Structure 1
Amino acid sequence: MDAQLKNHKFTYPVLVAVAALALAGCSTAGPGGAESNPPTASASTSATQANAADAMFAAGMAEHHQQALDMSQIVLQADGTDERVRALADKIAAAQGPEIAQMKQWMQDWDQSMESMDHSEMGHSGMIPEQETQRLAKAQGDELNRLFLEQMIRHHEGAVKMAQKELDEGQHAEALALAQKIIDSQRDEIDEMKQLLESL
C-alpha cells in the first residue's frame, strides 16, 4: 500500500480503489510468459483516484480559502478602503469561492467529510490567528488597508506551501492541477500586495 496512506483513516470506497491499483500492478503471465495486463492501465487509473494527501489538501485548503474569503469581506464591506485593495479583495473572493465549492465536491466524491479529517495534520500554513482577524475587522482606512495586505501576504504564502505539498505527495489529476493554479496565482498576488504596501 502507498506509504502516503499509512496511519490515515480512509473510508471503504477509497481503500477499494487503492486495492484495485495494487492488483492492476500485478502481472498475469499469458502464453509464453507474456504480460497480459496493459502497461498503461495502472498509471491511468492512479491519476483519477485520490490518496490521503489529496484528501488532506482538499479539506485543508477549503478551510484555508474560507478564511481568505472572510478577510476579503471585511475589506469589501468597509468604508474608505483603498480602491486597489478593494479590487484585490474582490478578485480573491471571486477566485476562491468556486475553488472551495470544487474541493468540497471532491470530498463528497471521495466519501470523505471535513469533520472526519484530522485537523492536526492538515497543515493550515499561514492561517491568521483570531485575535489578528478581529483587529482587522475593527480597523479603518489606512490601517485596514495595511493590515489586510500584511495578513493576506502571510496567508497566501501558507497556501503556496500547502499546494506544494499536494504537488509532492498527491496523485489526483484535478487536485494537482488546482494546486499548481493556486501556486501560480497566489505568488502573483503576493507580488502585487507587496507593491501595494510600498505605495500606501
Structure 2
Amino acid sequence: MTASRGFLRRAALTVTAGAAALVLTACGGDGDGNSHDMGSMASESGSPKAGASGKAGTGGHNKADVGFAEEMIQHHRQAVDMAELADSRAASPEVKELATKIKGAQDPEIETMSDWLTAWGEKVPEDMAGMGHDMASGMPGMMSAEDMADLEKASGAAFDEKFLKLMVEHHEGAVEMAETEQAEGKYAPAIDLAEDVITAQTAEIKQMNKMLDRS
C-alpha cells in the first residue's frame, strides 16, 4: 500500500509538472504571438500614413501645376524686381512699406515653387534679370521691357504713381493665373498657394487703388 501510494504521488506530481510546463509554454507562445501581432498591427496602421505622406510630397501633380509653378516663379521675380526699385526711388513711406511686404511674401514663394519643380524633375526657369522681361510677356500682367525701363528712370512722386499702377496690373495678372490653377491644378499645396496669392494680392490691389485715389 505504501509503495502504491508513493507511486500514485509521483505520478500525480509528474502530471502536475507537465501541465504547468504546458501552461507556461502556452503563455509564452501567446505572448510572443500577441507581440508579433501587435507589431504587425502597429506597422499596418502606420503604413497608410507613411504612404499618404510620401504621395503628398512626391506625386499628385499635373501639367497645370507645372505650368503654374514655372510661370508664377517668373511673374513673382518681376514683382520682386519692381519692389526693389522702391527703396531708392519711392517718395512715399507707404509705397516703400508695401514694396517691402511684396518682396517679403513673394521671395519665399519663389523658393517653394522652385523646390516643387526640382522634386518633379522639371527645370526651374532661369532668372530673366538682364535678359529683358519680354521673354515672359505673354503672362497676364507682366510688364514689358519698356515698362520696366520707364519705372527704373522714375523717382519721387512720379515713381510712386507709376509703381502703383503697374503693380495693380501685375497683381491682377497673378490673381488670374492663380484662379486658373485652382480650376485646373491637382497638387494640393499648389492650389493652396494659389488661394494665398488671390487673398493677399486682391487685398493689395484694393490698398494700391486707394493710394492712387489719394494721390
TM-score (norm 1): 0.72
- In the alignment, which residue of structure 2 is the partner of 1:91? 101
Is it true that 1:126 corresponds to 2:126 in the alignment? no
Which of these residues, 97, 102, 105, is aligned with residue 115 of structure 2?
A: 105
Amino acid at match of 1:167: Q
- In the alignment, which residue of structure 1 is the partner of 2:195? 180
Is it true that 1:56 corresponds to 2:67 in the alignment? yes
> By how many angstroms is 1:124 displaced?
1.4
Alpha carbons of structure 1 residues 132 and 115: separation in structure 2 relative to 1, 3 Å:
closer
Amino acid at match of 2:214: S
Is it true that 1:143 corresponds to 2:158 in the alignment? yes
User: Which structure 2 residue ranges, 5 or more long, are not aligned?
Assistant: 1-50, 127-134
Larger Rg: 2
- In the alignment, which residue of structure 1 is the partner of 2:7? none
Aligned-residue identity in percent: 36
- In the alignment, which residue of structure 1 is the partner of 2:13? none
> By how many angstroms is 1:122 displaced?
10
> By how many angstroms is 1:143 displaced?
0.5
Query: How many residue pairs end up in the alignment?
Result: 156
> By how many angstroms is 1:46 displaced?
8.0
- In the alignment, which residue of structure 2 is the partner of 1:158? 173
- In the alignment, which residue of structure 1 is the partner of 2:185? 170
Partners of 2:143 and 2:185 in 1: how far apart?
25
Partners of 2:153 and 2:190 in 1: how far apart?
36
Aligned-residue RMSD, C-alpha: 2.6
Alpha carbons of structure 1 residues 75 and 91: separation in structure 2 relative to 1, 3 Å:
same
Partners of 1:82 and 1:122 in 2: how far apart?
29
| CA deviation vs aligned residue, 1:20-48 (integer Å, no higher than 9, x gap) | xxxxxxxxxxxxxxxxxxxxx99x95895
User: Which structure 1 residue ranges, 5 or more long, are not aligned?
Assistant: 1-40
- In the alignment, which residue of structure 2 is the partner of 1:14? none
- The answer to whether the 8 A contact 1:160-1:187 is kept is yes
